[in-house]
Structure 1
Amino acid sequence: MSTAPRFDIDTATFWADPYPALARMRKEAPIAFVPQLGSTLLCRRNDIFVSEKQIDVFSSHQPQGLMNRLMGHNMMRKDGAAHMAERHAIAPAVSPRAVRVHWLAQFQAHADRLIDALDPAAEIDLVRDFALPFSAECLKLITGLTNMRFEDMNAWSQAMIDGIANYTGDPAVEARCNAATSGIDAAIDDMLPVLEKHPNQSLLGVMLAGGMPMDSVRANIKLAISGGQNEPRDAIAGTVWALLLHPEQLALAVNGEVRWLQVFEEYARWISPIGMSPRRIARPWSIRDVAFEPDERVFLMFGSANRDEAYFTDPDRFDIRRDVSKSIAFGAGPHFCAGAWASRAMIADVALPTLFARLQNLRLREAESARIGGWAFRGLLNLPVTWDATRH
């Protein structure tokens, strides 16, 4: 166990809103052992920014970790040459050029179709009725699992997210995760003969064409689903919510004074959809007065780093005009999110501008409040909205 001071949390309170506790940790114990999570947390941006790049110490290779055990050994849990080989293999599916050439127009088509189906007279929940299906339909394209229902894509993603964050060992959560991974394996099996006859630029297509071992193919598809569904879903709904709460900032975006990409990246700083990444200590190490022992588990708290007072003035405030260049919402080291360009296109190029262009006077529905939760993964649970008319 590390020599970090102990910091106790109430897990329910931390799930509802982790930011007050993280602010206290940054001030009082920026490297702290949290017994309720069974891990040592790094909470300051600089510690995380430096440590994430030290893969010989802060290793992603975690043979006994929940992700490996439940989802298989994917590239996120590999370091060095092994990680880079798989990252290079998937690049043709998710590079900036691939997103622009193969996916962007299809993202737009899904957004338009889903908005066409929305009825302002109904009780619309923008999470359920747009952000969730839009993210899932786009992810079906990127992964190559177009044989899945979008409802299954979302449900199986959430089950895996819950499973790999199941640090209390709830057997029901693990069972749901196992059912999800079995469903994904079956979907992959169904698509293999299709892609053999009709290769494409999807993740499944490029990994198969590149000769990646099937165990790695399966593990990396599960990785893409576990992170590729919730982050765009939560960022779309969350950014809309933040803008509707700050109408003066919404006006800046709609008028083109602030780019939609800047808006999205400020939201991802303010409420990081992926708030944490685990690491294993590979050899004895010290940061200032805290010593670590091999095989300890540490959490790099991205959500805390993105509210570090040393880098962001008034960090608890949502402000689309701020400099977000120090944000590490997509990571900081060699494990920088491989899907970042696809996510930016889905959210900043398509979802946000299309929603606000087409839904006239989009606003929160006063009769019901939006709810938000999570700390390892954080997002809106609902977003009740209404508007006056849909523009075509």
Structure 2
Amino acid sequence: MTDAPHFSIDPAAFAADPYPALARMRREAPIAFVPELGATLLTRRDDIHRQEKRIEVFSSHQPDGLMSVLMGENMMRKDGDAHQAERRALFPALSPRTVAQHWRSVFEAAANDILDDLAPLGACDLVTDYAMPVSAAALIAITGLSGMTRAEMDRVSQHMIDGCANYLGDPEVEARCHAATALIDSHIDRSFDMPPPKSALAVQRAAGLPMQSLRANIKLVISGGQNEPRDAIAGIAWALLTHPDQLALIRRGENTWQDAFAEYARWISPIGMSPRIVARADSVGGVRFDPGDRVFLMFSSAGRDEAHFDRPDAFDVTRDTGAAIPFGAGPHFCAGAAAARCLIAEVALPLLFDRLPGLRLDGPVPFKGWAFRGPTSMPVAW
């Protein structure tokens, strides 16, 4: 058991807004055991950046972890050669070249179709009526699960990530997660013999991955490829609508949609943390870690580390975000980063603000979550 100082949180308050508690941890106990989460949190950027790469100590291999138990042992829960082999098998579906040459046009067609339906309405919930279906359409294409509806894709992704963040052990959350994974397996079975070209299903099948690995990696792509782009699309739109001066910078070409995406991912990281398990005894910053200790690398806290970012709680698209690590920094760097940047910054956001002139907020925008964070609703009008 680690000898890290204890730092207690109110789980409800942490889910509502984790940033005040994380700021206190960075100041008072940057490596702290949080009993309510049963894990030791690393909250400073440099500690996370350095220790994430030390897979011999902070291992992703967690056969008893929530993700492995609920979704199967995917490549994110493997290290070394095993991880790299499955990453190479999946890469042809997610490479920057495939995204640019194959998926971008798919993303644009789906976004324009959705906006065709929305434009005459004059108002909508941007989360459920735009960000969700745009992300789901992209993910249906990338996974190759062409029989799945957009609503199904959003639901199974949410229920899986809820399950993976179910550190309080809610049985209803676990049951919904099991139902979601069963539905995904049924769609994999339906599409397996003739998967769409370039899809994650097709490239893994062609690489000859074992069926259990293929299934687990499809679930991984869904868990990270639906809710996070959905939350980022809606969240960045909210950030720009509440900072009209910065939206004006983008409209004038002084800054870019990619700048807005990078700054938002630093400021309100859609993926707030990544779990690790201690594989062998070690110490970091004077704190002892023992085998079996659970560790959370808090990417959300790294993005607001005062040692690297001036006014870290402010949204500023002119900021140099080079030190931020919202996609990770080690061998587990997000495999879908190129697809996410394309979908969000090259397609969904520019089309949204182009096709819905006069877009404005039309009500409060609540946020929730700490392991995964985003707006739960966003009423807008135009």
CA contact (8 A) 1:2 1:293 kept: yes
Contact residue 254 and residue 356 of structure 1 kept, 8 A: no
What is the Cα deviation at residue 47 of structure 1? 0.4
Structure 1 match to 2:179: 179
Equivalent residue, structure 1, for 2:355: 358
1:117 is paired with a residue whose SS is helix
Q: Cα offset for 1:194? A: 2.5
Q: Is 2:372 aligned against 1:370?
A: no
In structure 2, the residue matched to 1:163 is 163
SS of corresponding position for 2:270 = coil
Give 1:97's aligned residue.
97
Structure 1's unaligned 5+ residue stretches are: 388-392
Aligned to 1:57: 57
Q: How does 1:1-392 map to 2 (within 5 A)?
A: 1-119=1-119, 121=121, 123-195=123-195, 200-365=197-362, 368-387=363-382
Measure the CA separation in 2 of the matches of 1:272 and 1:93.
24
SS at match of 1:298: strand
Q: Which runs of 4+ in 1 moved over 6 A?
A: none
State how far apart, in whole Å, the 2-side matches of 1:31 and 1:219 are: 31
Taking the aligned partners of 2:105 and 2:122, their CA distance within structure 1 comes to 28
Offset at 1:120? 5.6
Distance (whole Å) between structure 2 residues aligned to residue 208 and residue 283 of structure 1:
35
TM-score (norm: length of structure 2)? 0.99
Structure 2 equivalent of residue 390 of structure 1: none
**Aligned-pair CA distance for 1:376:** 0.1
Superposition deviation, residue 9 in structure 1: 0.4
What is the distance in 1 between the residues matched to 2:67 and 2:45?
A: 24
Shift of 1:121: 4.3
**How far has the Cα of 1:294 moved from its partner?**
0.4
Contact 1:6–1:34 (8 Å) recurs in 2? yes
Paired with 1:285 and 1:230, the residues of 2 have a C-alpha distance of 35
| Matched positions, count | 382
1:345-371 Cα deviation digits (max 9, x unpaired): 000110111111111111101xx2111
Asked if the contact 2:119/2:355 (under 8 Å) is kept, the reply is no
- RMSD, aligned α-carbons: 0.8
What runs of 5+ residues in structure 2 fail to find an aligned partner?
none
Instruction: Kindly state the Cα deviation for residue 168 of structure 1 after the two structures are TM-superposed.
Output: 0.8
For the 8 Å contact 1:90–1:207, the answer to whether it is kept is yes
Alpha-carbon distance in 1 for matches of 2:299, 2:150 = 28
Q: Which amino acid aligns with 1:126?
A: L
Quote the Cα distance in structure 2 between the aligned partners of 1:148 and 1:41. 37
Query: Structure 1 counterpart of 2:200, which letter?
Result: L
Cα distance in 1 for residues equivalent to 2:106 and 2:89: 23
Tell me the CA shift for residue 123 of structure 1.
Answer: 4.1
* Helix, strand or coil at the partner of 1:272: coil
Letter in 1 for 2:326: A
Kindly, what percent of the aligned residue pairs are identical? 62
SS in 2 for 1:145: coil
Give CA deviations for 1:136-173 in whole Å, capped at 9, x if unaligned.
00000000011100100000000000001111111110
Question: Secondary structure at the residue paired with 1:132?
Answer: helix
Distance across 2 between alignment mates of 1:254 and 1:374: 31
**Counterpart amino acid of residue 148 in structure 1:** M
